[in-house]
Amino acid sequence: MSNNGYKTKQQQAILKFLMNNQDSHVTVSQISDYLETENTHVGVTTIYRHLDKLLEKGLVRKYTVDGTTSACFQYSNLNAECKQHFHLKCEKCGKLIHLNCSHAAEMCRHIYDEHGFGVDLFRTVFYGICSECSTKSEHNKEMVL
Amino acid sequence: MSNNGYKTKQQQAILKFLMNNQDSHVTVSQISDYLETENTHVGVTTIYRHLDKLLEKGLVRKYTVDGTTSACFQYSNLNAECKQHFHLKCEKCGKLIHLNCSHAAEMCRHIYDEHGFGVDLFRTVFYGICSECSTKSEHNKEMVL
DNA sequence: TTGCGTGCAAAGGTTTTGCATGGCA
DNA sequence: TGCCATGCAAAACCTTTGCACGCAA
């Protein structure tokens, strides 16, 4: 069944990098480039394969960001709790926030009860600007509606 | 300033197809294939260029769906109202629902007031299963939590 | 030793770019 | 006529696959 497979240097390096960057999303080439600077060459093929495994395990999330063409990945230990709260993602700094909020949960129930739509909390992400970024850029307010 | 550019056959054909399929998202190759069956050949380059323009104008939305590799586009006249309501997208049939719901608006305000996060309603999409699809597939219920 | 993990090269796709030609206004 | 629009080919990317070799257990 190969529950976890072998423990290899490459696997550890990738996972370590992802965990050190939980606050932001990274692309495959960013992972590759970074590891290169650490004198730890890992082929992109290997990176893709590990990300696939991590996705299956629910340890990373995969995003497609606005104008970019390549996929972004972000470490996020998706456990049972993540089915019950929302995810907010800052469009500025990329931070992922796990929001435990009864208001949100209630609204979800409302949408299901009244509008018949079953929201997939695993998949749904709220995009916007986090509090830090919005105070940081008071001068050039962009899209904070 | 080329506010709208020229009106061409290709442009009209693409827009017409998108408007006739507002309920679902389509890929560039689907657009191309369809136009081919209509004996209206339009190069993919042209399709990409028009979609870019339509995106800028806010007349279409761009998605990346689950396991697929190519981008999906969907006609959706984003007007001022769309800044004030939520968008629900069915993962099964692709339908896009504009949800005017005071509960949702209230929750948004709550998230901003209490959690300091300014939700970007233009960008945010709720993924899930719509009422029709959920009743349709009662037997193999998948991810309606 | 066994079999998964790795990395290279190549393939497969999607999207973009350059450039000559076509067509709207 | 003046420009933008178009389409082909090629380039540029991103991602996946095949296969031989490496390495953990």
Same domain membership, residue A53 and residue A101: no
What is the pLDDT at residue A40?
94
Interval A101-109 mean pLDDT: 87
Give the highest mean pLDDT range of A93-107, B26-40, B70-84.
Answer: B26-40
pLDDT of residue A91: 80
Whether A69 and A124 map to the same domain: the answer is: no
Quick count: other Cβ atoms within 10 Å of Cβ B89? 23
Q: Are residues B94 and B33 in the same domain?
A: no
Which domain covers residue A60, as residue numbers? 3-75
- Residue B83 has what pLDDT? 66
Residue B16 has which token pair?
A: 């017409």
Query: Quick one: B22 and B68 in the same domain?
Result: yes
**Partner residue opposite B91 with nearest CB, options A88, A91, A120:** A120
Beta strands in A11-77 (DSSP E): 26-27, 60-63, 72-75
Q: Indicate whether B136 and B92 sit together in one domain.
A: yes
Minimum-distance CB partner of B129 among A118, A128, A145: A118
**Å from B136 (CA) to D13 (C1')?**
40
Torsion of Cα atoms, A38 then A43 then A44 then A48, to 10°: -100
Identify the domain boundary among B58, B75, B92: B75
Query: Comparing C-alpha atoms, which of A103, A106, A84, A96 is closest to residue A130?
Result: A96
* Confidence check: pLDDT of A13 > 50: yes
pLDDT at position B3 over 60: no
Q: Are residues A90 and A28 in the same domain?
A: no
As a rounded value in angstroms, the CA-to-C1' distance for B114 and C18 is: 52
CB-closest option in A120, A131, A145 to B143: A120
Query: At A99, is the secondary structure helix, strand, or coil?
Result: strand
Flag whether pLDDT at B2 surpasses 80.
no
Q: What confidence tier does A142 reach under pLDDT thresholds 50, 70, 90?
A: very low
pLDDT at A86: 83
What percentage of chain A has pLDDT greater than the value 90?
43
Q: Do B67 and B125 fall into the same domain?
A: no
For residue A64, which residues of chain B lie inside 8 Å, CB to CB?
64
Q: What is the pLDDT of residues A25-53, one digit of tens each?
A: 899 999 999 999 999 999 999 999 999 99
Q: How far apart are the C-alpha atoms of A65 and A62, rounded to whole Å? A: 10
- Determine the average pLDDT of the residues in A91-102: 84
* Chain C bases near protein Cβ (<7 Å): 3-9, 13-18, 23-25
pLDDT, one tens digit per residue, over B101-139 is 888 888 899 999 999 999 988 788 898 899 998 887 654
Asked if residue B92 and residue B36 are part of one domain, the reply reads no
Does residue A8 sit in the same domain as residue A67? yes
Helix, strand, coil % in chain B, rounded to nearest 5: 40, 20, 40
Q: Note whether A9 and A49 are same-domain residues.
A: yes
Contacts of B66 (CB under 8 A, 6+ apart): B91
Per-residue b or e along B7-31, where b marks 16 or more CB atoms closer than 10 Å to that residue's CB: eeebbebbeebbeebeeebbbbebb
Judge whether residue B13 has pLDDT over 90. yes
Distance CA A96, CA A89 (A): 5
DSSP states of B95-110: -EEEE--HHHHHHHHH
Model confidence at A131, pLDDT cuts 50, 70, 90, reads very high
**Mutation test of the interface with chain B: which of A86, A120, A131, A133, choosing the one with the most B Cβ atoms within 10 A?**
A120
Question: Does at least one atom of strand C sit less than 7 Å from the CB of B64?
Answer: no
Indicate left, alpha or beta for B8 from its phi (over 0: left) and psi (-120 to 50: alpha). Answer: beta
Tell which of A50, A75, A100 closes a domain: A75
Of the residues A75, A109, A134, the one at which a domain ends:
A75
Read off the CATH number of the domain in which B90 is found: 3.30.1490.190
- Which residue, among A87, A78, A92, has the nearest Cα to A124 in the 3D structure? A87
Q: Whole-model pTM?
A: 0.80
CATH number of domain containing B63: 1.10.10.10
Number of domains in chain A: 2
Task: Based on the fold, state whether residues A52 and A111 are members of the same structural domain.
Answer: no
CA dihedral B22, B27, B28, B30 (to 10 degrees): -80
Hey, what are B60's tokens? 């279409």
For the CA of A39 and the C1' of D23, the distance in angstroms is: 19
Give whole-number Cα distances, B5 to B50, B53, B124, in Å.
11, 10, 30
Query: What is the arithmetic mean of pLDDT over A115-130?
Result: 88
The confidence score (pLDDT) of residue A127 equals 87
Q: Tell me: the pLDDT tens digits for B59-83?
A: 998 888 767 789 999 998 766 666 6
Do residues B84 and B58 share a domain?
A: no
